[in-house]
């Protein structure tokens, strides 16, 4: 097995007089800030590619060859066994450079190895800067029990939103907090609360085992990195039912899709039971998307909010998922008993305020017609 090069080893010939190391590639995140530059992609046959304000931007250099990508991978994954990685399919990890923590994924494709590097802020932003469409965050951080789901596609900022919510609880309440993450992203420090962060694969074999352990470790607040399968979902729902405040994520685009995804994880003969369990344990679903700002400086959150009121709970229990959207449209006052927002209303508000371009907002809408109607209403 070749020796692993150091992170400062010059490996990529960008120009005739400039060669870059992995440290040089990571330094770009420090220069521009993680709110602007979120990801780095290294793939055979392409130059290094950054995701800048949500868009891919290639360095103006030659394509990477297989040897260079493998060398970059060895910088970050010491002792990397390429043959084992090919059999496993992918490898997760993390790396700290300067003030930034990075989430890593190395995988094999048809051309060789590839790397996806995601930047994480050292500290999650304060809740006031996340971009909630109303004061729902105040209700969430004061809740004592129940399930809060943050959903969206990869890169929608789910981890940042949850970390900010938990970090606020850490500062303001005396709680026992346990997180199960794959891998750990934000490093949370104990303050008023005591925090234990456990990494899947390092500290515990899987989410289901971690949740079983967790229920014997006296937590008040639990963060489950992802409801990945039937077992982890069942244990997450049970934890929310038994008096804990539980946060988790799902890769779904809207509130209705979230409820449907959870029910579809289970066979038909169990779905009534799961629907009843979810209707009782669920507090909120926040489905979010990140859009480029109209001024070209960073991105902004659009968020759909479901508050599990009595009426909503009844719809979930009866699996009448198609009727949930009408609740989002009508229970919109900024009061604890309501605070619901459709994705289309959130997008329309951002467009009306000039935060995002209306045409871009329409592209992000799940129901473009509803978005246009909401925007016309706001513009009078």
For the chain, which domains are there? 12-120 (3.30.450.90), 136-283+311-325 (3.40.50.300)
Q: For residue 3, with 0-12 CB atoms within 10 Å meaning exposed, 13-18 middle and 19 or more buried, which class applies?
A: exposed
User: Which residues, listed in sequence order, are joined to residue 103 by a DSSP beta bridge?
Assistant: 94, 118
Q: Which of 68, 160, 167 is nearest to 119 (CA)?
A: 160
Predicted structure pTM score? 0.85
pLDDT of residue 337: 95
Taking the CA of residue 309 as centre, how many other CA atoms within 13 Å lie in the half-sphere pointing to its CB?
Answer: 16
Residue in the structure block whose two tokens are 């009843």: 276
DSSP state of 341: B
Under 8 Å between Cβ of 151 and 251: yes
pLDDT average, residue stretch 62-84 = 88
For residue 195, pLDDT over 80 is answered with yes
**36 has pLDDT over 90:** no
**Which of 49, 211, 190 is CA-nearest to residue 117?**
49
Q: What 3-state DSSP class applies to 93?
A: strand
Cα 375 to Cα 267: distance, rounded to the nearest angstrom: 41
Alpha-carbon distances, residue 174 vs 34, 124, 186, 218 (angstroms): 31, 19, 20, 13
pLDDT interval class at 61 (50, 70, 90): very high
Return the pLDDT at 35: 76
- Model pLDDT, residue 2: 60
Contacts 24+ apart (CB under 8 A), 100-105: 100/26, 100/29, 100/30, 100/34, 101/185, 101/186, 101/187, 102/26, 102/29, 103/183, 103/185, 104/76, 104/77
pLDDT of 218 above 70:
yes
Q: What is the mean pLDDT of residues 308-324?
A: 97
d(CA 106, CA 376): 46
CB atoms within 10 A of CB 192: 11
Nearest-Å Rg of the Cα atoms of the chain is: 22
């Amino acid at each position: 097995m070749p020796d692993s090069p150091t992170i400062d080893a010059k490996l990529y010939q960008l120009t005739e007089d400039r060669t870059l190391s992995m440290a040089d590639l990571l330094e770009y995140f420090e220069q521009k800030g993680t709110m602007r530059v979120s990801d780095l992609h290294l793939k055979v046959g392409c130059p290094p590619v950054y995701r800048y304000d949500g868009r891919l931007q290639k360095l103006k250099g030659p394509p990477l060859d297989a040897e260079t990508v493998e060398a970059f991978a060895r910088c970050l994954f010491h002792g990397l066994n390429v043959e084992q990685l090919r059999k496993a399919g992918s490898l997760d990890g993390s790396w700290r450079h300067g003030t930034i923590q990075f989430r890593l994924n190395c995988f094999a494709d048809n051309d060789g190895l590839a790397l996806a590097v995601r930047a994480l802020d050292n500290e999650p932003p304060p809740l006031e800067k996340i971009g909630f469409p109303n004061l729902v965050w105040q209700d969430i951080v004061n809740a004592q029990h129940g399930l809060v789901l943050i959903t969206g596609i990869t890169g929608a900022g789910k981890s940042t939103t949850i970390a900010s919510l938990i970090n606020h609880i850490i500062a303001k309440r005396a709680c026992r907090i346990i997180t199960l993450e794959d891998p750990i992203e934000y490093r949370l420090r104990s303050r008023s609360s005591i925090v234990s962060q456990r990494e899947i694969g390092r500290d515990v074999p899987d989410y289901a085992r971690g949740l079983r352990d967790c229920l014997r470790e006296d937590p008040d607040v639990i963060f489950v990195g992802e409801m990945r399968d039937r077992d982890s979902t069942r244990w997450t729902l049970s934890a929310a039912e038994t008096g804990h405040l539980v946060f988790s994520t799902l890769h779904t685009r809207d509130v209705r899709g979230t409820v449907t995804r959870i029910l579809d994880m289970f066979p038909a003969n169990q779905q009534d039971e799961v629907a009843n369990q979810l209707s009782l344990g669920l507090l909120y679903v926040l489905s979010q998307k990140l859009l480029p700002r109209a001024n070209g400086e960073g991105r902004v959150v659009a968020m759909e909010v479901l508050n599990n009121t009595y009426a909503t709970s009844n719809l979930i229990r009866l699996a009448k998922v198609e009727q949930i959207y009408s609740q989002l449209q009508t229970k919109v006052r900024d009061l604890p008993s309501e605070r619901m927002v459709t994705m289309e209303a959130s997008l329309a508000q951002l467009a009306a305020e000039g935060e995002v371009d209306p045409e871009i907002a329409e592209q992000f809408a799940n129901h473009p017609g509803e978005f246009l109607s909401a925007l016309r209403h706001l513009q009078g």
